[in-house]
């Protein structure tokens, strides 16, 4: 069987035809079903999907913790299957459970990580000072990790993941359990790492995290990529803005007015609910201007108006027929993901 060529020089991650299945209670469960992805160097790439969609399985394959059943994967120019040791030297990995020693100080954790990656004592100290400054940990470095808050500990774990200056940093659900302030703080730190040239590959089931943090996002469901692009591209490609107006007319006049406003705004869809006319439009600015003109021509006052922007949940809903929020809240991960976790423990 011929060996596939290495990826392009500017690709941090290249995946082709990636498959992974588990045997559970006599049945084959496919956790990853033929994923193809390319992640450019120096971008934040988000793998978004509900619990059990195959995100963690994919991440563990890319970080050499699980073997793939089929397909190829290159990370930082190294073949995951043929040269896992080289992959490990070139990446950082922060799992859901972290890896810091709670009884040691933050500084001791970082210095140990540096020495394990082959840094000299002096180089490890300099890198430790640099990272505690960049990630806002300088005042905490001398404290035992068990005294850190959730957000502080997560920043330390990111520092541990990049102590050796990896080309690619993998993060599995990096902000789970953090409050909004700590989440925003960590987002800022990850953007700073990206700006310094580190490629960040993260999994998440948070819509706002994928939308606001990722340069590009792949939405996965049942082990397949169902949508890929920048958050804005996906929202525009799969959905559209909506305008809701509440005109000063009685209920009997709403159907006819809805028809008139729909034509004026070139709406693709119009609905009436609780006294409001809701229009789906392609060009919000032009549609709003046309709506106001049509209402003024009929001397109808506008009591209220609002514009709704498409979300990544709309994309998921369009592709799967269900809300990503509902899918993610359906309970814990399915058996395939549980098996994945157990296998990863052994592999690690």
Angle between helices 335-347 and 55-62 (to 10 degrees): 20
pLDDT over threshold 50, residue 342:
no
What is the mean pLDDT of the segment spanning 318-344?
Answer: 56
pLDDT attached to residue 7: 55
Angle between helices 106-116 and 121-134 (to 10 degrees): 130
pLDDT in tens, 268-323: 889 898 899 989 888 899 999 999 999 999 999 999 999 988 889 888 888 887 88
pLDDT above 90 covers what percent of the chain? 68
Helix residue ranges per DSSP H, 102-247? 106-116, 121-134, 150-161, 180-195, 207-213, 231-238
pLDDT attached to residue 99: 86
Q: In the chain, what are the domains?
A: 11-235+321-347 (3.40.50.300), 240-308 (3.30.70.980)
Cα 105 from chain centre: 30
The pTM (predicted TM-score) of the whole model is 0.78
User: Quick one: pLDDT band at residue 341, thresholds 50, 70, 90?
Assistant: very low
């Amino acid at each position: 069987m011929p060996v596939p060529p290495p990826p392009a020089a500017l690709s941090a991650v290249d995946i082709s035809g990636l498959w992974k299945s588990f045997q559970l209670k006599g049945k084959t469960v496919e956790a990853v079903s033929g994923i193809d992805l390319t992640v450019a160097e120096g971008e934040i790439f988000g793998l978004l999907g509900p619990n059990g969609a195959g995100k963690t399985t994919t991440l563990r394959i890319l970080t050499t913790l699980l073997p793939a059943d089929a397909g190829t994967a290159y990370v930082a120019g190294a073949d995951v299957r043929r040269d896992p040791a080289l992959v490990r030297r070139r990446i950082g990995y922060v799992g859901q459970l972290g890896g810091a020693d709670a009884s040691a100080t933050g500084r001791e954790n970082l210095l140990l990580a540096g020495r394990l990656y082959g840094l000299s004592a002096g180089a490890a100290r300099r890198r430790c000072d640099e990272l505690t400054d960049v990630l806002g940990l300088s005042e905490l470095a001398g404290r035992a990790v068990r005294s850190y808050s959730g957000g502080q500990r997560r920043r330390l774990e990111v520092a541990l993941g990049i102590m050796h200056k990896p080309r690619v940093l993998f993060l599995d659900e990096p902000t789970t359990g953090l409050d909004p302030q700590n989440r925003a703080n960590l987002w800022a730190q990850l953007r700073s790492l990206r700006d310094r040239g580190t490629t960040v590959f993260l999994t998440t089931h948070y819509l706002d995290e994928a939308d606001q943090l990722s340069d590009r996002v792949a939405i996965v469901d049942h082990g397949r990529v169902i949508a890929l692009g920048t958050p804005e591209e996906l929202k525009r490609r799969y959905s559209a803005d909506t305008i809701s107006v509440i005109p000063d007319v009685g209920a009997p006049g709403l159907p006819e007015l809805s028809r008139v406003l729909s034509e004026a705004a070139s709406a693709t869809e119009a609905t009436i609910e609780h006294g409001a006319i809701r229009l789906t439009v392609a060009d919000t600015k032009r549609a709003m201007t046309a709506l106001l003109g049509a209402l003024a021509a009929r001397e109808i006052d506008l009591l209220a108006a609002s514009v709704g922007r498409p979300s990544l949940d709309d994309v998921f809903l369009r592709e799967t027929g269900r809300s990503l929020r509902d899918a993610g809240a359906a309970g814990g991960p399915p058996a395939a993901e549980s098996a994945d976790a157990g296998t990863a423990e052994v592999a690690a």
